[in-house]
Amino acid sequence: MVTEKPAHFLGCQLATSKSVKQHKLRKRIAWLSAKEAKDKEFLSLYIPSGASIDQVVDTVKNAPDCKAESNANTERLEAAPKQLLQHLKQKGEIPGNGVAVFAGTFAASAFEGERLNIEEIAPPEPITAYLYEVGNHFQLQPLREMLRDQKTVGIMALDAKDASFGLLVGEQIELIDNISSGVPGKTGKGGQSQRRYERERDMELTAFFHRVAEHAAKAFLEDHQVTVLLVGGPGSTKNDFLKGDFLNYQLDNVLLNTVDTKSADKTALREILGKSTEFLKNMCGPEEKKIVERLLTELAKSSGLATYGFDPVLKALSSGEVDVALVTDDTGIIEVVAVCKRCGTERTNVVDEKKIQSMHDILFSPCKNCGGTAFEIVDRDIVDVLEDLASQTDARVEVISSVSEEKAKLSALGGFAALLRYRAN
């Protein structure tokens, strides 16, 4: 879908729903967690409400400098702390829940190259402790913990050679860790007696099981506090591991499902999740269940107050018909706004973010107004677009993000639906 119009920007305030806040936080966490620096040049700063900006500035000034682990550009390493200090000095009072600030050289969006950026996040819950950290990755654990009221799904795949550990973040599986055993195959080599070979192999496998248990405890208890655990892998190795009492009892208590998979690598994590949908269907909260049930009831009526599909929902929001707009968190749709630098004409494309590269010619085609080829590019998650439209008529947006039967039903409708106040002629 493409529209062209003179450039303008919406400045509406909206009382954001909890599900939308959590969706936005998950998206930013996923985006920032994918960033990695060659040197210790990424800065993570958590400031509680009521903190003195002057004291924070002094602390940052006296903190250890960014450090090079390669032949890095000294100016680049010094740039992030300078930019962060300048940003802090311009701030007024710290907002009610505090603020998280991230500084470093990285791409701020899919349409930008790497440059020095300051990313500021207003957390949905209060920041309780001051934290300043310099590293190769951004420190995101305090923000992840703010999503703890939702079910946190850990996924583990293992066989005799490998073990993979993942976390379900929205609809994406984040690979936390992968380890190898070094355990040889079942066939003996080098003239050893088969019995001795099998005994030594069993000892190595037992040692590997202990390592798997340690990594699982760190990933799923210390770092992420999962509330649900799924386990899978080819053959009987996973069953031997579980029956052998290697797994921490706290994880054993939240073990929901065990399945067979083709491998024990990252692809197996997705396979395990796919085979566990039936077990996860009750994970969504009562509010999500209630809204989706109401939606399906209205859709079943000949003139029910509901609609579904991206274009119909967008049209209903624009006309003020919508009471509640529903969207799954995995539609992958974004709005790309290209503003011509020559004449200011704005062109809007709504696209699948996975197909951005293949749509380059369309996104960057010459301006129809003046023929210009230089554009200012801004991309927005489709939830932000829905929010802007909803704010104009006091409608509400809810994001269905849990792995549940309700989400599956909404996904079957294209991922977009709406409950209506009335139906326009």
Whether residue 365 is predicted with pLDDT greater than 70 in this model: the reply is: yes
Q: Which amino acid is at 301?
A: K
Whether residue 407 is predicted with pLDDT greater than 60 in this model: the reply is: yes
Sheet strands (E) in 270-405 = 306-308, 322-328, 333-340, 345-352, 375-381, 396-400
Lookup result for tokens 């399906």: 296
pLDDT given for residue 277 in this prediction: 80
Whether residue 153 is predicted with pLDDT greater than 50 in this model: the reply is: yes
- Taking CA atoms, 78 is separated from 67, 112, 137, 157, 408, in Å, by 9, 22, 17, 42, 48
Residue 81's nearest CA partner among 133, 34, 157 is 133
Paired with 282 in beta bridges are 404
Query: What confidence category does residue 6 fall into, taking pLDDT thresholds of 50, 70 and 90?
Result: very low
The 10 Å Cβ neighbour count of residue 372 is 15
Determine if the pTM surpasses 0.85.
Answer: no
Query: What confidence category does residue 340 fall into, taking pLDDT thresholds of 50, 70 and 90?
Result: very high
Residues of the chain with pLDDT > 90, as a percent, come to 45
Please, what are the domains in the chain? Answer: 2-11+284-420 (3.30.1330.30), 36-137 (3.30.960.10), 153-280 (3.30.420.60)
pLDDT given for residue 310 in this prediction: 95
pLDDT given for residue 188 in this prediction: 53
Residue 308 CA to its chain's centroid (Å): 25
Lookup result for tokens 């007024």: 92
Query: What confidence category does residue 173 fall into, taking pLDDT thresholds of 50, 70 and 90?
Result: confident
Residue 27 CA to its chain's centroid (Å): 4
Q: Which amino acid is at 257?
A: N
Whether residue 222 is predicted with pLDDT greater than 70 in this model: the reply is: yes
Whether residue 13 is predicted with pLDDT greater than 80 in this model: the reply is: no
256-309: pLDDT as tens digits: 999 999 999 999 999 999 898 877 766 666 677 889 999 999 999 988 999 999
| Tokens linked to 118 | 């300051």
Taking CA 126 as the corner, what is the angle to CA 152 and CA 288, rounded to the nearest 5 degrees? 40
The kind and range of the H/E element at 108 are none
- Beta carbons within 8 Å of 171's beta carbon, 6+ residues apart: 328, 329, 330, 401
Whether residue 170 is predicted with pLDDT greater than 50 in this model: the reply is: yes
Q: How far apart are the first and last CA of the chain?
A: 24
36-49: pLDDT as tens digits: 888 888 999 999 98
- Beta carbons within 8 Å of 199's beta carbon, 6+ residues apart: none
